Structure 1
């Protein structure tokens, strides 16, 4: 009963009602459960209510409602929504105990569902830890195979800014064919390279903006790249603010799955229009690079040639406990789109860098295998939103392009806390008892990867090829607690074997 749980949470006493439930639980797990019951989450109840009214919020409640039902086994999503929002209004705040106290008396806990969810969470933790360990091992193995050994100390340090001065312009544009207005942050090197100036388009993540990625973009531009970062108005921070203010029902517009890739092509078109008048025809627009983060990673992969696989997406969205992969809540919204073949491939795009991309379910093996250009997938071992094993590792094995790379920053947790919320990092560290790497270290790793990848595949500069090796990741990781793991197609078979082993383990 809830009364038993309250006594246990506040006094540590286990009565007859709880004895059987906690009998097989270790003392450590028991204490963690007790803490979880009382841990307070500070959140505006009105904003919480609006989130649960969104498609993603309703989907989350519906999945949880399978475990907590009302009489007759009916999904308890509405009872849950009321209890969570009501608990958030309480003076004691939003705690698990307060939520349970607010649930109606006729609620039923579905033991098998709860046990299945717990097992799925345990499995996710297990596979993530195993994958992180193996990525470190494969990085070292690939690095040891580099002969002769490369003396990186004698080569340029790609963590340092390049020699080009950079000027930022903001272009306010309207695509009349789509009746879509957006701004673009354009980072322009103040001198041109001897040959054509390489161009990169950068796509921001969900509920974000181009400015949030200024440090990485400026770093890339300082090496002589022109970098254009468009706002995606249906999925940026302004849209989220509009949703929280009650102007929109959802966190993002479902048509963003279509509009985002089209924004990339529109920006390339605009650069082509201005090339002669503003850039003396110096821009290379036949060999463009695209980089993106999270939803922007989806965007980059889409213009690379991946196609939406609605059948695969529907299957994944209906799979039990798929909600442990948070990305699924975003990807499943694509099922609202008209079922047709969407072709976002832009032939001017020659290589893509997708950091923490949401992509696996929406594209599937069928969609990802269509990509023929170089791809670098970036991930973070602590990423709760786009889990590296579910969203990047499996996708890596599905890519058929021989020029493919998988990088993982140990400890990276999807977002840049210095840009988004200084207090968020401390909150996460205190709640889940982890230490996160310094953001400057993550920026160093990311900057070096961006420069090396795009120098080789967009600027066609083979001098940077040695930096696209696992041995360089080992060099950058020297003395660091949080390493940069990096593998190439050479480790594809090992990763495929691990994924198959994990699949069998789960059955």
Structure 2
């Protein structure tokens, strides 16, 4: 159930390439050719146009429709003229970026010019022209704009579909397994009546003051702001600190709710802007100031931003915080690209050889997370190390990390780690981006939470244009953001209380039985496992990847 929705969302997030994958066997200009081994047949684009208009089936189209199940034909017809309301300028700019071109070239291996030449660049022209056309961005319009006859390489398309099905099937199985492992671990937990314990999903006892600091790292000629959440009236000699890293094309204030929540429990929170991969950079890219969605040097600059912020906290500690900040035991959290940042700070190192092999895979581009990680190949091949020993526990939510770090890089982490996933996440599929890395972690203090139905982003934060496009292309039934937020609030407080403050009173919250308690009477469950299930995860994922 979860994955059918996830699959549609994944294709949307690959941009309007979804048009091709949601109706894969039907593209052309005047004529579309479909080849599979020695077989080859054609369909006139005009026949598709007539069929879309009134349902009339010409002879050439009839042989093709015979391959489509009867209950799917209406869906196919509707898909020909369904509009995707995206800004044509943004479409054009995206497909001129390195990631956009990479998607096109990968698509172009299966969607070729007649004769077999890669059709990616021609595809870009057709997509952009269709987006600017009054009839809008539709599959049929793209086919009409394609500059020459188009050929579908059946074997390659079949392989791509099988790769997508593999991800879908693996994730469906993972959700079932995670529920089982959660239940098994919970059965071994000592009984806890959570209804009688403090509800740590609720706001803590401290009022929070928010400040915005403007920082300059002269060594990198880098200016950025930091959202700082300061709990008021915290008693004791030490105040714990957490640094947060936002995701790609995001910003610190997008995470105001969970950061405020942590601060209300007595943590000073510092969330820096990453200027080469934030919302502003994306906006400037669409305005023509940058070629790409993010600067490839962000793989280096993001971890350095975090260390610089901790340096700044050390500088201000004696005067602004009366020396109370505990900067020898700093926590860190990050989302998506920020998850990469957190893992890098924790000690994970880039494995260029493993990444290179992944990026050369024929169907690797179906995973947008892989495309992001592949841009690290533009970096000089050096032995980068971003480990900051002041950071002693991390949460990585929806991290893109498997292929850039590999087992060699991930296994170097020795501090407590909580990985957080969403079963509907198209950008960082949980089986591959969190499941296998979970087994590679050598730290005994490792945890994995899976929010069933979560889809990488907070849809309440999407701008109106993206929401409109989503509504028009996919039918999403997702858990409410309030439910997701309640899961995150409870687990994150428990994790940092145990692993930053060494507070044993919160250990009961950091186990599978708490996940079950939070999930009671909920359609979308919180699955939660620890190191105790690591071998089971490794065995299960090994079978799924065969």
Q: Give the TM-score normalised by the residue count of structure 2.
A: 0.89
User: 1:253 maps to which residue?
Assistant: 295
C-alpha separation in 1, matches of 2:491 and 2:322: 29
Mark the runs of 5 or more structure 1 residues left unpaired by the alignment: none
Other-structure match for 2:508: 466
Change (3 A) 1:460 1:492: same
Where 2:228 maps in the other structure, the secondary structure is strand
Distance in 1, matches of 2:427 and 2:51, equals 32
Cα distance change, pair 424–411 in 1 and its aligned pair in 2 (3 A) = farther
Report the counterpart of residue 109 of structure 1 in structure 2: 152
1:415 paired with 2:457, answer yes
- Residues 107-146 of structure 1 mapped to structure 2, 5 A cutoff: 107-146=150-189
- Match status 1:97 vs 2:143: no
1:370-391 CA-to-partner distances (Å, cap 9, x unmatched) read 1111111111111111111121
Give yes or no for contact 1:300–1:354 (8 Å, CA) kept in 2: yes
* Structure 1 position 477 matched with structure 2 position 519: yes
**Aligned match of 2:129 in 86, 95, 105?**
86
Q: Is the 8 A contact 1:192 1:282 kept in 2?
A: no
Counterpart contact for 1:197–1:283, Cα < 8 Å: yes
Match of 2:39 in 1: none
For residue 344 of structure 2, give the secondary structure of its aligned residue in structure 1.
helix
Greater shift after overlay, 463-472 or 19-28?
A: 19-28
On the 8 A contact 1:429/1:435 being kept in 2, the answer is no
Corresponding residue SS for 2:136? coil
Q: CA deviation at 1:299?
A: 0.3
**Offset, 1:192:** 2.1
Corresponding residue for 2:394? Answer: 352
* Residue 433 (structure 1) shift: 2.6
Matches within 5 A, 1:379-394: 379-394=421-436
* Mean CA deviation greater in 259-268 or 189-198: 189-198
Cα shift at 1:33 = 2.9
Matches within 5 A, 1:317-328: 317-328=359-370
> Is the 8 Å Cα contact of residues 417 and 424 (structure 1) preserved in structure 2?
no
Aligned in 2, Cα 1:425/1:465: closer, same or farther, shift over 3 Å? Answer: farther
Distance 2:135 2:468 in 1: 21
**Displacement of 1:425:** 5.2
1:360/1:391 contact within 8 Å kept:
yes
Residues 100-139 of structure 1, C-alpha deviations (whole Å, 9 max, x = no match): 1211233222111111112222222211111112112211
For residue 545 of structure 2, give the secondary structure of its aligned residue in structure 1.
helix
Match of 1:46 among 64, 72, 89: 89
How far apart are the structure 1 equivalents of 2:71 and 2:242?
A: 50
Residue in 1 that maps onto 2:36:
none
Deviation at 1:74, TM superposition (A): 1.8
Distance in 2 between the 1:22 and 1:130 partners?
32
Task: Please tell me whether residue 76 in structure 1 is matched to residue 119 in structure 2.
Answer: yes
Cα distance in 2, alignment partners of residues 479 and 274 from structure 1:
47
Alpha-carbon distance in 2 for matches of 1:28, 1:433: 18
C-alpha deviation, 1:30, in angstroms: 3.3
Kindly tell me the number of residue pairs found equivalent between the two proteins. Answer: 503
Residue of structure 1 in register with 2:12 after alignment: none
2:414 aligns with one of 372, 375, 379: 372
Q: Does 1:16 align with 2:53?
A: no
Aligned with residue 26 of structure 1, among 55, 69, 77 = 69
Distance (whole Å) between structure 2 residues aligned to residue 211 and residue 15 of structure 1: 55
1:335 to 359, 364, 377: 377
- Structure 2: how far apart are the matches of 1:301 and 1:17? 54
* 1:186 lines up with 2:228 in the alignment: yes
- Give distance in 1, aligned partners of 2:274 and 2:378: 19
1:442 pairs with one of 467, 484, 503: 484
Shift in Å, 1:38: 2.3
Q: Does 1:486 align with 2:528?
A: yes
1:281 matches 2:323:
yes
Is the 2:400–2:428 Cα contact (8 Å) retained in structure 1?
yes
- The RMSD of aligned alpha carbons is 1.5
SS in 2 for 1:33: helix
User: What is the CA distance between 1:7 and its match in structure 2?
Assistant: 3.1
- Structure 1 residue matching 2:213: 3-state secondary structure: strand
| Partner Cα separation in structure 2 for residue 76 and residue 16 of structure 1 | 27
After TM superposition, the score normalised by the length of structure 1 is: 0.96
SS at match of 1:74: coil
CA distance in 1, matches of 2:74, 2:442: 47
On the 8 A contact 2:84/2:472 being kept in 1, the answer is: no
Greater relative contact order: 1 or 2 (C-alpha under 8 angstroms, separation 6 or more)? 2
Residue 384 of structure 2 aligns to a residue whose secondary structure is coil
2:211 to 142, 150, 169: 169
